[in-house]
Structure formats: structure tokens, C-alpha cells
Structure 1
Amino acid sequence: MELPDFDAMNSTLETAVADYPVCQAWREGAEDSVFQLANIFLVLGFMGGSGLYGLLYMLTLLTLGFFCATVWSWEDACTTDGFLWNFALFGVCVGQLVHVSYRLRIVTFDKEFQELYNCMFKKLGVSLSHFGKVVACCDGDLQTLEKDHCFAMEGKTAIEKLSVLLSGRMVVTVNGEFLHYIYPFQFLDSPEWDSLRPSEEGVFQVTLRAESRCRYVAWRRKKLYLLFAKHRYIAKVFALVVRNDIAEKLFSLNDKAFDSSGHRYDLRLPSYCHVPKPDLDKSDALLHVPVQPAAK
């Protein structure tokens, strides 16, 4: 049995190792300033916060960092793959930066829509991009109603839109009796909107008449429900502002619930109802408990 030639094996191993040189000693000096600047930008970029502005901050610094890394790797002929990777990441960051900047672009609206945003939607944290979708849903149209003209007639006008008063004042009546006023940046038909499902139809149970020249914005029910189906966030915002408007109207009726004939109206129902005001004199008689004579 012949023994293996260990000398030949060692020479083969030495040849293989020679093809892949290793670092014999650490460099005496550090890398150039471009390399250091690239890593500083990357460290600062990964410290970005949340939200669109945090994303904009992070992508800006990452873009600068990968750009400096691309320049540094281009100067070294032995780092072709490093150059390609850095350049690819630089391109991705540039694309994301452009996309985020587009989402944060300054959106301008007409004066009335800007006031509507400031009064109703800004305090809820709704972004201008989301509000732009709300404005686009009504095609940016504003409606005008002259003095003493009716927005809705009791028992006649169909419930087919949701509207917000922007200027002027409207009065709400039922059976000719005053119910309450509607002021700017309040919904005109929030109780009617909330009382119907998307597939249901109905008519107004109150009359809305303009006491002065009024301006309002209106969204068609079908278009608004399509917007809600695409953007659940907008649907939740509208559900909040509509129900808050209904609550404010109900609280405003506390001191005006009884009319001259002693009837009370209730806006919480799809159709109004009235309850007779109790007669306090008769109620005292009902509350009287007869005293039984003492037993002998």
C-alpha cells in the first residue's frame, strides 16, 4: 500500500491560497472623506421618524448617503459590484423621494373649501391629500340658495345627498313650527343621512329654508359611498363628523324642545315624533295616595 504524497498536496494547497490573497496588514490610514461622509448620511438617515415628513427626512439622507457611496466605489476599480449595488440603492431612494415629495405637495383650494378644511377636518388630522379626494368627489362645485328659498320640503324632497352650509343661515321647521337654526360649517341633512342605509331611500320630514343668501357644498350619496368604499379612513372621518353634528343639534334642542302647543320634537328618529307635554296639575292628583282610616 503506497502512502499519499503529502508534499504534493501541500504545494496544491499553497497554489490555491495564493489565488485568493488575504489582508496581510491593516491600512495605516483611514478611507477618504467621501466614504466617511456616506456612512454619516446613512446613520443619520436611519434615525428618521414616522409619518410622511419623517419618511421625507430619511429618504433625503439615504439618497445623499448612497450617492456618496457610489462616488467612493467608482474610484476603486476593484469594487464594481459595490458600485452597482450602491448605484441601484441610490436610484431606489431617488424614486421614493420623488413619490413622497409628490404626496406632500402644496394643495390649494378655493377660499370656501379652505375654510371648510380648517374648521372641520384639520383638527381631526386629515391630510390635504385626503381632503383633496373629498373635494374631488363633489367636483369642487359650490351651490347657492337665495333668501327665503327652500333647500328641502317636508315630505317631498328626496334624501339623495349630504350637504354642509358654508355661509348664511337656515331655519328648520316642522309643521310650520320652528325647530332650530343651521349655522355655517354645520351639516344641513345629517339626521336624514344617518337614518338611511346606502340601499334605502327616503324623504325629508322637516323643511329647511334660507333666512339669508346661503352657500353650501353637497355630495351625492352614490359618489360619496363609492369614495368610502375606496378609502376607509375617509369613511371613518365622515362618520365621526356627521354624528358629532347630530349630537350638537340634539343638545341645541334642550331649551327649545317644546313648541307653543306643548309638543316636543325628536330629531333622533328618521321621522319626527311629538309627545304631549305632561299636565302638572293632573299629575299631582295621580300622585296623591289616600290615607287609610285607623282600625278601631
Structure 2
Amino acid sequence: MNTSRTHTLTNGNNTELEPGFCGDWLDAQHALFQLANLCMLISFLTPTNFKYHCFFLRIMLNFGFLLSVIWGAVFVCMTDIVIWNAIFLCVNSVHLVYLGYKVVPERFPKALEDVYSHTFKPLKVTRKQFKEITDFGSMQVLGKGAVYAKQDQTKTGQKLSILLKGRLKVTYDDCFLHSIELNHFVDSPEFDNSSVSCTEDTFKVSVSVVEDSLIFTWPQDQLINYLSHDPILRHIFRQLIGKDISHKLYEIQERLMANPSYMDGINTRRSSMVNVRHGIVSNSTSNLAKLNCLQGQLS
């Protein structure tokens, strides 16, 4: 076999070059080639502490691959350069789309955006977590005068709602107890009681609509099942529910302190203010101690 065969390479100026050593160096390639490599250099120099480091790196690589394809196809007419860089461009573009999908924040309707920002975001709930937990809930419009729950008739243990717009009021035997404002849970005491006791009961208060309102409602069984697979989010929900109940109870207590006689007409009223909002105190006052602890942790 003849191992001394000599091959020659030619550049754009038809100058023959011996393989294996440089001989005369070629002139610098086209400016497009230099720009392509500059883009790749910038991508590799992107600091890792930059928030969108991976995203920016792949964008710059894509520019480099694209410019290399143009340079190979238009100026040097080399098929292998075009094909390889086109492959790199396609593969990197797919990864870039995936990264873009991850970078773009989850979007919610404006009403849910407000409740996320004010209630869930401060407790480090991610947009992805909030999106997942709202996927199986639904919004409901309640007109002025509508009844969300009727005393001794509406069953508990069915749902948990949060007020997104408007205002509701809670009454007991036609006596006003407290209002429900934006971003507050509508039936947190009933939810807490039914999820702990696992028994079906009825609302001990009436909840009605003072002005046109919008609520977001979770089916209770689905919510509890979802939270059972996410201990951190379950703990956060417990804190939110506890704080919400505490807020409702202390609002009643403040009203009683300001006007001790305003509930004298209620025959079933007992000394503890907890028993006024009956949903969480069916048999004991142990929940009050828990709520007081939560109030201290979250204040």
C-alpha cells in the first residue's frame, strides 16, 4: 500500500496547501464568520449569577450558529459547515423554546393575580404551585342580595371559597357578626371544623352578599386530597385558614367590647366569643388556643 500519497487542499484563492502543517497562513475569514464566533464567545462569558444565564447563553449561541450557516452557504459554499451548524441551530432552538416556556411566568386572571400577590406570594407560594391549586377550582359571580350559605340549612364540608371582589356579611339569627372583605376566606371556620371532625354539619350562620361579588371556590375533597400530597403547601394553607379565622373571631370580639349589649337578643349566646361563630367550636375551645398561636406566628 502506498502511504506516501500527497493530497492538496485549496482555499478560495486556489492556493494549494500541504496537509499536516500550515505553510502560509490564510487571510482572516469573512466578517460574518468573526461575528458568529464573537456571539459564541459572549455566550460562554455570561456570568452564572445572571438570572437568565441559560436563556441568554442559548440565544447568543443561536445567533452564532445562524451566522455560521449564512457564512458557510453564501461565502465559502461548504456543505458540511452549513449542515452541522443548521443541526446545532435546530437542537439549540428546541432547548431555547423549552427554557422560554419555563421562564415565562404563569398567568392568572386579574382577580386571582391580586389574591396571589396579597395572600399567597408573601408565604413563598410559587406561581406554578398557585396555578396548579387553582386549576381544579372555579369562579362564581354572586349578585347583591344572594345567599352563599343559610343558617342551619346549608351543609358544610362541601367547599372552601375566597372572596376576590365585593363584600359579604355574616349574620346569626339576623344579628350582624362580621363582614368578609377582599382576599379573605368566606367559610374558613366551617372548613376547619369539617376537615378536622370529618362529620357533615350545617352552617350555624348565614352568609349573604352585600354588593356584587366574585368568589373563587375549591371543592373541599379535591383540595384536601391535593394538599395531602404537598406537605409544605398544606402547612401554608393551615396558617392562612388559622389567621383568617382569628381575624373573624377578633372582629367579633372587638364589636362585643365596643358594644357589649348589641347581641343581647340572641338567646343562644354564651360567654365565649368563640361560640358566636359556631363553625369551629362545636364541642370544645381547643381550637381557640391553636388560633391564638397562629395569630402570634403570622402577625
Deviation at 1:64, TM superposition (A): 1.2
1:25-104 aligned at under 5 Å gives the runs 25=23, 27=25, 29-46=27-44, 47=46, 54-74=53-73, 80=80, 83-102=82-101, 104=104
Deviation at 1:90, TM superposition (A): 1.0
Answering whether residue 210 of structure 2 is matched by residue 221 of structure 1, we say no
Contact map agreement 1:147 1:210 (CA 8 A) in 2: yes
Contact map agreement 1:166 1:214 (CA 8 A) in 2: no
What whole-Å deviation, never above 9, does each CA across 1:82-132 have from its counterpart, x for those lacking one? 5444322211222233344456289463x5445444543455676666655
Answering whether residue 4 of structure 2 is matched by residue 15 of structure 1, we say yes
The alignment-based identity, stated in percent, is 21
Scaled by the length of structure 1, the TM-score of the pair is 0.63
What secondary structure sits across from 1:210 in the alignment?
strand
What secondary structure sits across from 1:31 in the alignment?
coil
What secondary structure sits across from 2:66 in the alignment?
helix
What secondary structure sits across from 2:164 in the alignment?
strand
Pairing partner for 1:188 from 181, 186, 189? 186
Contact map agreement 2:151 2:172 (CA 8 A) in 1: no
What secondary structure sits across from 2:29 in the alignment?
coil
Give 2:151's aligned amino acid: M
Contact map agreement 2:165 2:182 (CA 8 A) in 1: yes
Which blocks of at least 5 consecutive residues in structure 2 are unaligned? 9-17, 262-268, 286-299
Which blocks of at least 5 consecutive residues in structure 1 are unaligned? 1-10, 276-296
Scaled by the length of structure 2, the TM-score of the pair is 0.62
After superposition, the Cα gap between the structure-2 partners of 1:54 and 1:206, relative to the gap in structure 1 and judged at 3 Å, is farther
CA distance in 1 between counterparts of 2:218 and 2:204 reads: 20
What secondary structure sits across from 1:168 in the alignment?
strand
After superposition, the Cα gap between the structure-2 partners of 1:232 and 1:37, relative to the gap in structure 1 and judged at 3 Å, is farther
After superposition, the Cα gap between the structure-2 partners of 1:84 and 1:28, relative to the gap in structure 1 and judged at 3 Å, is closer
Relative to structure 2, which stretch is displaced further, 156-165 or 262-271?
A: 262-271
What secondary structure sits across from 2:20 in the alignment?
coil
After superposition, the Cα gap between the structure-2 partners of 1:39 and 1:205, relative to the gap in structure 1 and judged at 3 Å, is same
After superposition, the Cα gap between the structure-2 partners of 1:51 and 1:204, relative to the gap in structure 1 and judged at 3 Å, is farther
Q: Rg: which structure is higher?
A: 1
Deviation at 1:207, TM superposition (A): 1.1
CA distance in 2 between counterparts of 1:269 and 1:210 reads: 16
Relative to structure 2, which stretch is displaced further, 255-264 or 225-234?
A: 225-234
What secondary structure sits across from 1:142 in the alignment?
strand
Superposed CA RMSD = 4.6
Tell me the matched-pair count.
Answer: 261
Deviation at 1:184, TM superposition (A): 1.7
Give 1:142's aligned amino acid: Q
Contact map agreement 1:161 1:218 (CA 8 A) in 2: yes
